[in-house]
Amino acid sequence: MNVAMQPAKHSAPGQYLGFALQPVRLCYHLLTCPAGTKVSLEYLDDIAIHAADGSVTLEQTKSALKQNPLSDWANDFWKALANWMDAVKDGTAPGDAQFRLYVTPVRTGARAQAMSDATTKADVASITAALTAGIAKLKKPPGCMEFVQRFLDATDEERFRVVSRLTVVSTDDDPVGPIRDRLSTAVPPAILDHLCQAAIGMAKQQADRLIQEGKPAILDGDAFKVEFRAFVQKNNLPGLLVPLTGEPPAGTVASILAGRPTFIRQLELVELPEHDKVRAVSDFLRASANKAEWADAGLIFKQSLDEWDEDLVRHHGLIAGEIEDLFPEKAAPQRGRIVYRRCCQVREPLEGRAVPQHFISGCFNELADGRRLGWHPDHHTLLDADPA
């Protein structure tokens, strides 16, 4: 399907990054659109749904947290209409385009609802006449008069093309709600928000990448569903504890590494390479965060974490003893590196469920931070002799 149309003049690809609503709507449409559909972000409009038959729906999204964008003289409402009028005049909007104004949380407006309900030329003429009469009764023009005037200056046909195809949607107090509803029948409640967040993040990242490359942010709905379905399958397996946190920011990792906490000093004692220490910091942070997230979500019992730590300490003791027996001739730092790497390869379940490998590494480093175990055979003495 060819969707290479002229971008709308009021689109601003670089500005949407500060708004959370548009990526949410992008994700919703990618998950729910019919086969063969593409969805664009900040191309023809805030969001545009490009159907397989060539028809297009232009959607503008408005947050109603601080004001009502659907009130009779709302600047947001009239600006949206004015933009669509301009798009109809200059041909930016496809001839059969539908127009949707999405507002969240739920708001109402008499004039906006009348326009959404209008289907005939008589309906549009009546709305226009009532609008003109309403302005005449005002002591001074409303703040949105610039946009109202653009509506009034349009021809009858232009007004009819926009208003008769306009749908105002304001039914969601939480715009993520429809995505949750879409996924709730297929995934456990405990990971529902995690998967919603992942879906929105996937849509946003794909759009960001295209924008950064100077390309229109037009995503294929079929391809997105396939990719997200694979993600859900991977993260919704029985017996798997899904990581609920991503990689920590590089700046955070660098700051902790520079601060030389105890677990990093433990790694320094065995002369672990710098890139391994960076990975250790990332694993440490993710493990700590996932413990809290899993417990708060009810995926694990907090008491199980104490048993888990004891199991890891026991694994460490067995591995350290084996390395001492096998490699007594090797230098202490080298033996310590072998112990560390073998510990990070341990496959220990938590409550009988598999965990990500980075979680095991992070938990071992957490135990090293508390000095319940160490990598260098003489770690207690050396840490005491060289306090941070």
Residue 369 within a domain: yes
**pLDDT tens figures, 93-132:** 888 899 999 999 999 999 999 999 999 999 999 999 999 9
Same domain, 272 and 339: yes
In a shared domain, residues 176 and 278: no
Q: So what's the pLDDT on residue 350?
A: 86
Task: Look at residue 3 and tell me if it is in a domain.
Answer: no
212 and 307 co-located in one domain: no
Q: Quick check: is 5 in a domain? A: no
CA 388 to chain CA centroid, Å, is 39
- Of 291, 316, 317, the residue nearest 304 (C-alpha): 291
Spatial neighbors of 184 by CB under 8 A, at least 6 apart, are 192
Question: 42 with 86, same domain?
Answer: yes
Averaged in consecutive runs of 10 residues, what is the pLDDT profile of the chain (388 residues)?
Answer: 42 38 95 96 95 96 92 96 93 91 95 96 96 94 95 94 96 91 80 82 92 94 91 65 77 94 96 95 93 77 88 96 95 96 91 86 96 96 83
Question: Does some domain include residue 240?
Answer: no
- C-alpha count within 13 angstroms, C-beta hemisphere, residue 226: 7
* 34 and 96 housed in the same domain: yes
User: Which distant-in-sequence residues (6+ apart) come within 8 Å of 79 by Cβ?
Assistant: 144, 147
Report the C-alpha gap between 50 and 112 in whole angstroms.
Answer: 25
Domain co-membership, 102 together with 204: yes
219 and 106 in a single domain? The answer is: yes
Domain range holding 289? 252-385
Same domain, 292 and 169: no
Is residue 203 within 8 A of residue 219, CB to CB? The reply is yes
Indicate whether 241 belongs to any domain.
Answer: no
For residues 273 and 356, membership in a common domain is answered with: yes
Hey, what are 202's tokens? 């996937």
- Are the beta carbons of 165 and 97 closer than 8 angstroms? yes
Q: What six digits make up the tokens of 339? A: 């112990």
Which of 228, 240, 158, 238 shows the shortest CA–CA distance to 196? 228
152 with 26, same domain?
yes
pLDDT for the residue 342: 96
Tell me whether residue 32 is in a domain: yes
Same domain (yes/no): 176, 289: no
Categorise residue 271: left if φ over 0, alpha if ψ from -120 to 50, beta otherwise.
Answer: left
Q: Is residue 10 part of a domain?
A: no
- Confidence at residue 155, expressed as pLDDT on a 0 to 100 scale: 94
Give the Cα separation of 101 and 124 in Å (integer): 17
